[in-house]
Amino acid sequence: MSNRRMGVFGGNFDPFHYGHLNSMLSVAERFGLNEIRVVPAHVSPLRVQTQGSTPEQRLEMLKRGVRDNADLIKIDTREIERGGVSYTIDTLQSYLNEGDRPEVMLIIGMDQFSKFDQWKDFDKILAGADLVVTTRPGMELPYSLDDFPMAVRSLVADYDSHQAMLKSGRTIYFMQLEDVDASGTEIRKKIRFGQSIHTLVPPAVEEYIREHKLFESVQRNIGDFEKFAQYCSALLVDKGGVNVQTYDLRDRSAPAEFTLIASGTSTRHATALAEHLIREVKKDYNVWPENLEGQSEGRWVVVDYGALIVHVFYDYVRQEYRLEQLWSKPARP
């Protein structure tokens, strides 16, 4: 194994933002890395299908975002070139098979670490590389092993608040960042509402987004969101949705112009309702949601179409949260 210490930072970069850049530069400085390989995914295996830019557009934003740090940060396109679903273990193995066998540190966020045991061959990843887990402002580091993903706990030999020593001889490091609180979801939402993103992304990335009108296609394709809300309501009713209510929020300070609430009779039914909605909207309007949360559990699924946000609950959970009390009378069906 060589003395070359290499960081690997993968992701969708949709778009690339200052949070990504700060994470790479901070980790490189702390651990004395010789280079960072930033690897845009072709398709991430745990990412649900949402509206976004193409792999080629994501790559171009990445190139523009890191060009001032080209001496340290190298863009690696092997996952895009490989096509299909991108698995970290395949990319890691290709690095470890390089002639000088660099010392590899895989850099991920705390949100990714929370589901790390869902990654393909996660145990082999932790046997071949150290892991650096970074946290954005507002996100806490693990207090104990109980905060680790269940299947990762058995791989740990010892743990303190800053690092976990693994039985493989590798280490998981935890690093709190002094950071801009940026996320791709937040940036895409700001763009949809015409808000400034200049403090969140490098100028060259913002320029590219504006030039190519990225993240605006949902608005263009849907057009009339009042009509779209009625369309979505009818889809959920037809699929057996319970107590489907639509709320017009245009005269209030709210993250969307309309919101829709529906119940399923079970978590499985709630998930099926959301999947039916997404499938039919894609077929009729040719858009995916901007964001999707809670689909795997089915207790509270949030389908975000920008000016319309759909909440699909397991009915028992809906009664617990009483989300309707946030708004007054629902819109006319």
Cβ atoms of 124 and 89 within 8 Å: the answer is yes
Q: What is the pLDDT of residue 273?
A: 95
What domain range includes position 262?
Answer: 220-326
3-class secondary structure, 134: strand
Judge whether 40 and 11 are in contact, CB under 8 Å.
yes
Task: Say whether both 248 and 185 belong to one domain.
Answer: no
- Residue 226: how many other CB atoms lie within 10 Å: 16
What is the pTM assigned to this prediction? 0.75
- Domain CATH for 243: 3.30.460.10
Residue 287's pLDDT is: 86
DSSP state of 43: B
Asked if residue 138 and residue 44 are part of one domain, the reply reads yes
From 192, 208, 230, give the residue that closes a domain. 192
Looking up residue 89, the CATH number of its domain turns out to be 3.40.50.620
- What own/partner pairs with CB < 8 Å and gap ≥ 24 does 25-29 have? 25/69, 25/72, 26/134, 26/175, 26/177, 26/178, 27/105, 27/107, 27/132, 27/134, 27/175, 28/72
Task: Please tell me the predicted confidence (pLDDT) of residue 300.
Answer: 92
Number of domains in the chain: 2
One domain, residues 164 and 255: no
Does one domain contain both 142 and 229?
no
Local confidence pLDDT in tens for the 333 residues of the chain? 557 889 999 998 989 999 999 999 999 999 999 999 999 988 765 455 566 688 899 999 999 999 999 999 999 999 999 888 889 999 999 988 877 778 899 999 988 898 899 899 999 999 999 999 998 767 778 888 999 999 999 999 999 878 999 999 999 999 998 877 788 878 887 887 778 999 999 999 999 999 988 887 677 788 899 999 999 999 999 999 999 999 998 887 777 889 999 999 999 999 999 999 999 998 999 888 888 888 778 899 999 888 899 999 998 888 887 777 776 555 555
Q: Are 89 and 178 members of one domain? A: yes
